[in-house]
């Protein structure tokens, strides 16, 4: 966020910045989504909904799991949330007492630790090895478990690595006997093998997902949480007290996304694939190291230690001198220090421009 805020400051001064630092799709939400929102507003569907979400939407999410991966997920196990962040909030409130631990990936999405700390928990970490494509190693996770570990969080496709975990890996993690939280927000954005869902392995896990990434609905703040049936009543009570319900208009829009947004999702995924190829080839040409090509999401974690081992300092320098925003690896854990995360959620021509600017900047260092 330091990089983004400084970039915005430079833009206010009239500078042109290429944004590769944030995971913000440059697409608009599908037309069916926008039309459904307009209809909801015109017809007065603007009041509180059921605390677990519109039944029609929960049924559509249930159908999504059945169609995508053959998993039978009852609508009664689904809570519609104000983005996946609200789902994480509910889970931390459910699982943690002060001093309890949740294991999170390193490198991994940096706010995970802050959600845990907000509920006086302790973020533990398990390491993802680039030499095996940042795949989760169940044995390493088992070795990191402690007496007060209350959950293991897995993110697939992953931010910042783009790694996709297999069904077998998820199954092995479940067999460790600790509650598993699977962040599946980037499902639908894969470039090859489809990401497995925890719902295919167990009905005792927790799954976070939503509409922000694959339907370009970041500002709509709408997601969902799948939970074991016996944990739903407490989660519903927490939802009632903390959030009441997710936004009604966003829920109707999300229903339209699931029912009619498939062609737009396919179009966006194809375009992300083009951008992915462009950025991978461009970064490698510029001597950035890419240990594992991303198989999902829209990020590339690239080794930049030959330029500077301090990724935050390097990211600031690239912004100031090359006018390209990139995310410092240290934001994602110590295992990513010396790396930079590049997002290919920006338009193709802007990625081309970023590569031109980076090449010019690198030549100036010679």
Q: What is the pLDDT of residues 317-343, one digit of tens each?
A: 999 999 999 999 999 999 999 999 999
Asked whether the beta carbons of 342 and 283 are under 8 A apart, the reply is yes
Residues 240 and 322 in one domain: no
- Residue span of the structural domain in which 66 resides: 31-260
Residue 356 and residue 366: Cα distance in Å, rounded? 16
Q: Total structural domains in the chain?
A: 2
Kindly state whether residues 145 and 277 are assigned to the same domain. no
Residues 79 and 141 in one domain: yes
- The answer on pLDDT for 188 being more than 90 is yes
pLDDT digits (tens, 9 = 90+) for 131-163: 999 999 999 999 999 999 999 999 999 999 999
Question: Under 8 Å CB-to-CB from 90, ≥6 apart: which residues?
Answer: 79, 81, 225, 235, 238, 239, 242
**Each residue's pLDDT tens digit, 23-52:** 889 999 999 999 999 999 999 999 999 999
pTM of the model: 0.96
pLDDT digits (tens, 9 = 90+) for 245-297: 999 999 999 999 999 999 999 999 999 999 999 999 999 999 999 999 999 99
Helices (H), 225-325: 232-242, 248-260, 262-285, 311-322
**Residues 239 and 254 grouped into a single domain:** yes
For residues 231 and 336, state if they share a domain: no
Structure confidence at residue 366 (pLDDT): 86
- Of 237, 260, 283, the one marking the end of a domain is 260
Q: Are residues 51 and 136 in the same domain?
A: yes
H/E segment holding residue 294: none
Instruction: Kindly report the CATH number assigned to the domain that includes residue 227.
Output: 3.40.640.10
**pLDDT of 1 above 90:** no
| H/E run at residue 246 | none
The CA radius of gyration of the chain, in Å to the nearest whole number, is 20
Which of residues 241, 260, 279 is at a domain's end?
260
Instruction: From 260, 275, 305, give the residue that closes a domain.
Output: 260
User: Does 37 lie in the same domain as 20?
Assistant: no
**Is 19 in the same domain as 62?**
no
CB 340 within 8 A of CB 311: yes
Task: Identify the CATH number of the domain in which residue 330 sits.
Answer: 3.90.1150.10
- The answer on 273 and 242 residing in a single domain is no
Ordered DSSP codes for 31-55: HHHHHHHHHHHHTT--S---TT--H
Q: 97 and 20, same structural domain?
A: no
């Amino acid at each position: 966020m330091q990089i983004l805020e400084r970039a915005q400051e430079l833009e206010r001064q009239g500078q042109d910045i290429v944004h590769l630092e944030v995971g913000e799709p440059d697409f608009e939400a599908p037309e069916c989504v926008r039309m459904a929102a307009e209809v909801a507003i015109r017809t007065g569907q603007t009041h509180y909904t059921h605390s677990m979400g519109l039944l029609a939407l929960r049924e559509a999410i249930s159908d999504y799991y059945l169609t995508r991966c053959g998993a039978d997920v009852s609508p009664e196990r689904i809570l519609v949330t104000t983005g996946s962040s609200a789902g994480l909030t509910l889970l931390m409130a459910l699982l943690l007492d002060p001093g309890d631990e949740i294991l999170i990936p390193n490198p991994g999405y940096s706010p995970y630790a802050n959600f845990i700390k907000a509920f006086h928990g302790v973020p533990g970490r398990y390491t993802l090895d680039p030499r095996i494509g940042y795949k989760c190693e169940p044995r390493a996770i088992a070795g990191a478990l402690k007496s007060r570990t209350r959950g293991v969080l897995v993110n697939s496709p992953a931010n910042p690595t783009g790694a996709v975990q297999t069904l077998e890996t998820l199954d092995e993690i479940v067999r460790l006997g600790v509650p598993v939280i699977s962040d599946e927000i980037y499902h639908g954005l894969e470039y090859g093998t489809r990401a497995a869902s925890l719902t295919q392995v167990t009905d005792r896990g927790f799954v976070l997902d939503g509409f922000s990434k694959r339907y370009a609905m970041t500002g709509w703040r709408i997601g969902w949480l799948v939970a074991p049936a016996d944990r739903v009543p407490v989660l519903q009570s927490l939802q009632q007290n903390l959030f009441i319900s997710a936004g009604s208009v966003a829920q109707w829009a999300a229903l339209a996304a699931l029912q009619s947004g498939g062609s737009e999702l396919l179009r966006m995924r194809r375009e992300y694939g083009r951008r992915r190829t462009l950025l991978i080839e461009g970064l490698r040409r510029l001597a950035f190291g890419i240990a594992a090509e991303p198989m999902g999401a829209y990020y590339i974690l690239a080794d930049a230690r030959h330029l500077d081992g301090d990724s935050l300092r390097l990211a600031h320098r690239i912004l100031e001198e090359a006018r390209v925003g990139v995310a410092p690896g240290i934001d994602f854990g110590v295992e990513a220090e010396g790396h930079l995360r590049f997002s290919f959620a920006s338009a193709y021509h802007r990625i081309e421009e970023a590569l031109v600017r980076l090449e010019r900047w690198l030549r100036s260092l010679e």
